[in-house]
Structure 1
């Protein structure tokens, strides 16, 4: 009886990864798919309190206690839960953090005086790749969850940065946001544990196991045509001009922030026109990218936009919004830009193309195709322009994450690395206290911070001036 109970418990806390999760296991070693939730506390809680809160997160979400196990015979990965899940949390005191900041300041993009210490620590966490050099023959399981605490200098005293770093196969943007909000709530403004979390009883199933069969079915000939179309289109896509294609890459970020008045105006514009903010951000990015090249208006560029969809509510069974795991799918649309486009017209065109594809279940029927092509790009970088591994101009989330309750912290950011396979720029769009705040991640030194700041400043100007 005891053996039977152990087997049952193990089955709840272990399973083979689904197709999308397997693809992330290929992507993360190259640098794409390290998800980070980082919070900056101006009134630092004690380390013991932070450690207790992180432990509660791990207990509430069983997948955070998992390790990735590779089977050399099949090539597949599985989630397994050790008998005593370790709590991987590191603490860096003021001197250790200062040394890290000095090293970061000497990096190609680190010397910008406008970049805060918290910003640098966030970039540092995105590039701490515990999965970079996996040895399939070593039979050593890899943790999916790490936490770090950094002591930063402040004018009125030390501050504390808390970073949660996860393997994206176990953590999509919605999960990262949930963990950020839960940690914020656990610690509270007074730095004490204020409430308990609702605990999951088992690892949630893979997304592919929850897609209704009628929505994923696709004739063989249609799959072949779509694969051919994706492959041919990829050769015609335009990117931002590459600056350094040879040096080792890392993920850096810039932020697109707008005040409450401008945010309210553009959100009203989206509502009036029946489109989502993701369509408007995509349009602004395409116009800004085209303008940055100084091309004559008649010269056409073809840009790809990947829109990520949180599929939880449309799966069977439905996955709750705060359930940890990876439940994102994407739709890739291409748009021809000739210069002189009007923002709202292009935004409407971009969003309509996305919405039509979603209504036709392209986020499900093309899921395996896009995973396959992503794997092929990872294995054969030469299939992409200048071996850059760039697959689209922009990646943006369909739904913007909203925090209307006030954070109780000085700052917080949720994002993921993208310097392996991925877009020119990945936009993690949020609205906080009524103000737009987008974290924009890019591969450096393929692009410089100067170039990205120009692109983002262009986007902001386009959005502010939109009528």
Structure 2
């Protein structure tokens, strides 16, 4: 490498190459030295030195650009608090039939980092308010696992496929577990590749990000951008500046809420939570990990479901919520027409509601939560309950509670992290279910075919604070595909796969009505 310095007014350059070192003086410095050598040899009568040309500017010799910092907003600080316990590890995994060269993949990831400063950010260790430290240049490295190493990771897993097991493996790799004791800035973005031993040619590319810098919308944009860069047909969304936190962009809404209203809402959310039931726990004491169950509908089943939603005037999130509530209460076999109340959290992408509005390539965490409690007895009609759930969400959003209440829900989440005994059986379950207001829609494209994309999943861990099941819904080529993440062994794989199958049955049977789909 090259190092350029000034000593006593002389510019000199030192070049290091292995064990060899060479020192070079600039033209100006040589002229100055020759003049003073002649002056010392022939006395003071030596003529004045000729006027030296100006120093040539060499950008590669400039000092490195300093790191930048941005204070973390309230929602981001909540994720900083949640991640050490196991909630807030975002995983974007993609299975490729003909993997790119490692150098090409690294270049594509570095281009993403270069375009989006938040992907270069680190969590700065500090006793004061947490902040992001942004590196001036991309520094991500890829961790490669060959077929033998991947086989060791897959050994003993009970998931349906190697890809499924690798997604779960990534969900439980937590580099932020010791964030409180860290003395150096912790990266918030990691990348790995896994050579699948069974195929010999397929590879899984897994990106692991701190949820504070990557919500579900950001994850979708990162995946699309990466595929485009790998095949040379995209720019990763273009160069963006690092946007402020969601609270700063919703300041006018947050400022309008009186103090007494904040106290009332916190009390109301707390009372709803204490009245809410949970799914049965298998083991509430053992260490936990996140596992995944997948809910898949055929294109025809998806078409009928979406047509039924349109006919009833509800969004897909209303139908998913209702089906999950019916399946949950039915799994308990209560009998006697008994009812239970469950808490549901709906995550809303606030980008279009902010000032100024953001688009999908403004990466970061810009979702907020709407929390509702619903009482069910198991005999409800799917669409009657869907309408009730969706109306509750719509009413809350019409009052802008997705913006005004984000601080209240962040406060309650942090209190539950600090006081697990306030949750049932110290399970840290704060809801039965979390869903998204809108699904992510993917359509096959030429870029995906050229990249050899066979499967992909975007989801986040929940084995710290969180719901019993978090549904990450996508519609791919007209087919509903949901990654359902749950904490294990708090809930067993058999228990959750049975619940997910029941949700699928309720959705399919409830949509199989001609007057709805016509």
Q: Which residue of 2 aligns with 1:404?
A: 443
Task: Return the offset for 1:297.
Answer: 4.7
Task: Return the offset for 1:310.
Answer: 0.4
Kept in 2, the 8 Å contact 1:390–1:424? The answer is yes
Q: Which residue of 1 aligns with 2:306?
A: 267
| 1:128 has 2:183 as partner | no
| 1:336 has 2:381 as partner | no
Which structure has more RCO (C-alpha within 8 Å, separation ≥ 6)?
A: 1
Q: 1:277 aligns with which of 299, 316, 338?
A: 316
Matches within 5 A, 1:287-298: 287-298=326-337
| 1:172 has 2:215 as partner | yes
- Equivalent-residue separation in structure 2 for 1:171 and 1:297 (angstroms): 45
Q: 1:161 aligns with which of 200, 204, 207?
A: 204
Matches within 5 A, 1:180-259: 180-188=223-231, 193-214=232-253, 217-259=256-298
Alignment TM-score, normalising by the size of structure 2: 0.83
Uncovered stretches (5+) of structure 1, i.e. residues with no partner: 1-5
Matches within 5 A, 1:58-73: 58-72=113-127
Between 1:77-86 and 1:162-171, the stretch displaced more is 77-86
Task: Return the offset for 1:376.
Answer: 0.4
Matches within 5 A, 1:324-403: 324-403=363-442
Q: Which residue of 1 aligns with 2:161?
A: 116
| 1:101 has 2:154 as partner | yes
Kept in 1, the 8 Å contact 2:296–2:481? The answer is yes
Task: Specify the SS of the correspondent of 1:453.
Answer: helix
| 1:465 has 2:509 as partner | yes
Task: Specify the SS of the correspondent of 2:503.
Answer: helix
Alignment TM-score, normalising by the size of structure 1: 0.92
- Equivalent-residue separation in structure 2 for 1:78 and 1:427 (angstroms): 30
| 1:445 has 2:484 as partner | no
Q: Which residue of 1 aligns with 2:43?
A: none
Kept in 2, the 8 Å contact 1:66–1:85? The answer is no
- Equivalent-residue separation in structure 1 for 2:210 and 2:508 (angstroms): 36
Task: Specify the SS of the correspondent of 1:221.
Answer: helix
- Equivalent-residue separation in structure 1 for 2:352 and 2:457 (angstroms): 24
- Equivalent-residue separation in structure 1 for 2:234 and 2:75 (angstroms): 34
Kept in 1, the 8 Å contact 2:382–2:506? The answer is yes
Between 1:33-42 and 1:225-234, the stretch displaced more is 225-234
Task: Return the offset for 1:236.
Answer: 1.2
Kept in 1, the 8 Å contact 2:222–2:236? The answer is no
Kept in 2, the 8 Å contact 1:299–1:338? The answer is yes
Kept in 1, the 8 Å contact 2:289–2:488? The answer is yes
Task: Return the offset for 1:404.
Answer: 1.8
Kept in 2, the 8 Å contact 1:335–1:350? The answer is yes
Task: Specify the SS of the correspondent of 2:275.
Answer: coil
- Equivalent-residue separation in structure 1 for 2:190 and 2:273 (angstroms): 35
Bigger CA radius of gyration = 2
- Equivalent-residue separation in structure 1 for 2:320 and 2:499 (angstroms): 12
- Equivalent-residue separation in structure 2 for 1:417 and 1:181 (angstroms): 21
| 1:429 has 2:429 as partner | no
- Equivalent-residue separation in structure 1 for 2:484 and 2:315 (angstroms): 18
